[in-house]
Chains A and B, each alone.
Chain A
C-alpha cells in the first residue's frame, strides 16, 4: 500500500506535468482577450468562450442546488461554461491535494473552513479581497464566519453557509423522569452541571440508554470530532493557541483546559453517562437522551424517522455552556486556485453561488445555516424556533477554529487528546503534555 501510494502519486505527478504543459500553451492564447474584459462581462457579446472547472465533494442535495445555479449562470454569461466534478467525500482532500501537487487543479475548489490556512499559506488559493470589496457584499457575511476565512489579514474563500451545534433532547424521557425542560431561549443555555444532573437521572444502562452524548458523531476519525470538542475547551475558558498563534504551551495546558478534560473524562469513565461507541441513529432510536447535533438533523430525522417528531418526541435547546457560552462554526466554502487561468470568470461564478441571491437559493435547497445576514432576514423560519437558536448562536457565541497552517496538526492532536482521556481514561496532564508537544511540533514544521 505504501509503495502503491507513492507510485500513484508519482505517476500522477508525471502524467499531470505533461497535461499541464499542454493545457497552458492552449489557454494562454485565450487569456489576453478574456480576462481583461471579464469583470463587466454580463452583456456576453464578443467574449471568447471560457471553461471553468469546479471540484467539490459529493453530496446529492447540494450538488442539485449548484447544478441549478450553473444553468442560470450560463444563461447570464453565455461565453462561460462551468464544469462541476463531484468527488466522493472521503477522497476529496486527497484528490485535490494530489491535483495541486501535480499542477492541474480546477479553477474553483470546495474548501473546508479549517483547511483554509494550509492552502492559503502554501499559495494554493488566491486572496479574494479585491473581488469581495468590489461586488462580494462582504459586510453581509456574519463576522465569525468572515474571521474563519481570513488568514494574515486576507480573505481566501467565499462561504456557502455556516454551521452550528445545539442540544437535542428526548422530550418524552425528560417528562417520564420529571425533569424540567431546558429553555428554548438562545441566551439561556444550560450549564454543564445542569446537563450532567439531568443525564444522571436519564441514564439507564440496563436498557442500553445513555444520558448524554456530547459529540455528534461519537469518537469519529474525522474533523467532526475536534469541531465539537474544541468548544468544550473554550466553554471552560481555555484557549488552544497563544494569541499570536506560535505555541500551545501555557494555553492548551492551562487549569481551565484541565478542568474541561477532567469533566470530559468523568462523563465516560466515572459517571458513565456518555457512550464510548455511538451506534448509528442512537438519538431517534431512544438510546441517547441528550444529544448534540446541527440544523442538518431536522431534514434527516424527518425523512428517516417520520414518527420521531420535533415538539412531541424531541426538542432543541441552545448548546450547553460552562463559564462561557461558546458554539462552533465554519463549513464549506469556495476558493479560487492560484493556478487558475481565469480567476475573473471563476469569481463571477463563485459570487453567483455565494452572493446574496445565490445564498438564498442555497438555503432554500439545502436548509443549511446561512452565512449571510441577508439570508437570515429573508426567511421568517430562520427567526423562529428551532432555527433561531442556531442563527442567534452563530451571531453571538460562535468561535472559529484557529486559522493557522498548522491546523491539521491541531485537529489531530485535539482529536487524540479527547480520545485518550475519554476512551483510554489516561491521566489528563500526560495527555495534555503530548497534545501540546504535537501542536508545537506542527507549528515548527510550517515553513
Chain B
C-alpha cells in the first residue's frame, strides 16, 4: 500500500499537468499544426485559390518547377541579400547605440527614447514616409545630398539600389528594439569584472573585446537569431514602399508567396514555395543555435 500511494499521487499530478497543457496544445494543433499540415498537403497539388474542387495531386511537380523558376530564385537571392546586409549592420548599430546610452549622464533618457521611437511607429506609416523622403526629384534625402553637392540617389526607381533603400528603412525601424535588448544584456555584466580588468591595466578596447563581447554571447545569440528570422520574412515594407519593384528588384520570398497565392491564385505553388523556404530557414536557425552555444557562465 505504501508504494501505491505515491503512484496515485504521480498519476494525479500527471493528469493535472496534462489537463493544464491541453487547452494550449489544442489551440496549437488547431491553429498551427493543422494549417501547416494542410499547407504541406496543398503544396503537392495543383490548387487554385478560389476553386478547390479543381485540386489535383501532382506530387513533387510544384517543387521541381520552383527550382527552375527564375523569379523564385531571384526572390530567394533578394531575401538573402537583405539578410546578409541587415544582420551584421543592424546588430553593430544596435550594440553601438546601447554602448552610447548605457552610461548615466544628463539627458540619457531622452536619447534612449529617441532611438526607440521608430519601433513604435507602424511599418505602413514608416514605409509611406520613407517613400516621400526617397523621392528622386522632391524628396528630403536628395535635397540634403544636393546641398552637399552630391548626385541624387534614386532608391525607388533604380533596380540596382532599391534594396538598399528598403534596408535602411528596416534598420532604422528595428535598431531601437535591439538596442534595448543589448542594454539589458550589458547591465547583466557584473561591474567587478571591469574593475578587475582595469586594475590589471586593460584599456577600453581590450575590455570591450575581452569582457563585454564574450559575456554578451547569449544576448548576441538572441539578437542574431531573431534578426535573421525577421530579415528573411520581410514583407510589409516591400509591399508598401515598392510592391516588389522597381522591375522586381525588391521582391522577397514572402512577397513572392503572397503574389503567387493571392494575385495569381496558385495556392499549391505558393505553398510549395513557402515550405521550401521554411526548410531553408529551419536549417539556418539550427546552425545558428549550435554556433551560439555558450561556454561562458557568469
* Contact surface of A with B, Cβ cutoff 8 Å: 1-3, 5-7, 9-11, 13-14, 93-94, 97-98, 100-101, 118-119, 122-124, 208, 219-222, 275-277, 279, 287, 408-409, 412, 416, 419-420, 423-424, 426, 434, 438, 442, 445, 447
Interface majority SS (helix, strand, loop, mixed), chain A? helix
Given contacts A7-B31, A11-B31, A409-B264, 8 further A-B contacts (CB under 8 A): A1-B236, A2-B257, A2-B274, A11-B35, A14-B34, A208-B137, A277-B137, A277-B154
State the B residues within 8 Å of A (CB): 30-32, 34-36, 38-39, 46, 48-54, 56, 70-71, 135-138, 154, 156-159, 233, 235-236, 242-249, 253-254, 257-259, 261-267, 269, 271, 274, 277-278
CB-CB under 8 A from A276, the residues of chain B are 136, 154, 157
Question: Once bound together, how far apart are the Cα atoms of A426 and B243, in whole Å?
Answer: 19
> What B residues does A3 contact at CB under 8 A?
36, 274, 278
CB distance from A367 to the nearest CB of B (A): 28
In the assembled complex, how far is the CB of residue B27 from the closest CB belonging to chain A, in whole angstroms?
Answer: 11
Q: Are B247 and A279 in contact (CB under 8 A)?
A: no
Known contacts A11-B35, A219-B245; is-contact A2 B156 (Cβ 8 Å): no
Top 9 nearest A-B pairs (CB, nearest first) are A221-B243, A10-B35, A122-B51, A276-B157, A100-B50, A419-B247, A420-B247, A423-B246, A1-B235
**For B271, what are the chain A residues with a Cβ–Cβ distance below 8 Å?**
6
Is the CB–CB distance between A5 and B257 below 8 Å? yes
Complex partner residue of B39 from A10, A122, A277, CB under 8 angstroms: A10
The one of B50, B136, B254, B267 in contact with A124, judged by C-beta atoms closer than 8 angstroms, is B50
Q: Which of A97, A220, A408, A447 contacts B46 (CB 8 A)?
A: A447
Most interface-central of A2, A6, A11, A412 (chain B CB within 10 A): A2
Q: Tell me the nearest residue of chain B to A10, going by C-beta.
A: B35
Known: A1-B235, A2-B257. A423 touches B242 (CB 8 A): no
11 pairs of residues in contact across A and B, judged by CB atoms under 8 Å: A2-B274, A7-B32, A97-B50, A97-B262, A122-B265, A124-B51, A277-B157, A420-B159, A423-B159, A423-B246, A447-B48
User: Which one of B56, B135, B243, B267 lies within 8 Å of A447 (CB-CB)?
Assistant: B56
Task: Tell me, in angstroms, the Cα distance from A146 to B95 when the chains sit together.
Answer: 62
Chain B residues contacting A420 (CB-CB under 8 Å) are 159, 247-248
CB-defined contacts of A275 to chain B, threshold 8 Å: 137
B265: A residues at CB distance < 8 A:
97, 118, 122, 408
- Flag if A101 contacts B263 (CB, 8 Å): no
Identify A94's interface contact among B137, B257, B262, CB under 8 A. Answer: B262
State whether B136 touches A277 (Cβ < 8 A).
yes
Contact partner of A2 (CB less than 8 A), chosen from B34, B158, B233, is: B233
Most buried by B among A98, A220, A409, A445: A445
Contacts of A101 in B (CB 8 A): 49-50, 52, 267
**B234 nearest CB neighbor, chain A only:** A1
- B247 lies within 8 A of A426 (CB): yes
A438 to B70, CA, bound (A): 10
Q: If the complex has contacts A1-B254, A279-B137, A442-B264, are A122 and B248 also in contact, measured as CB distance less than 8 A?
A: no
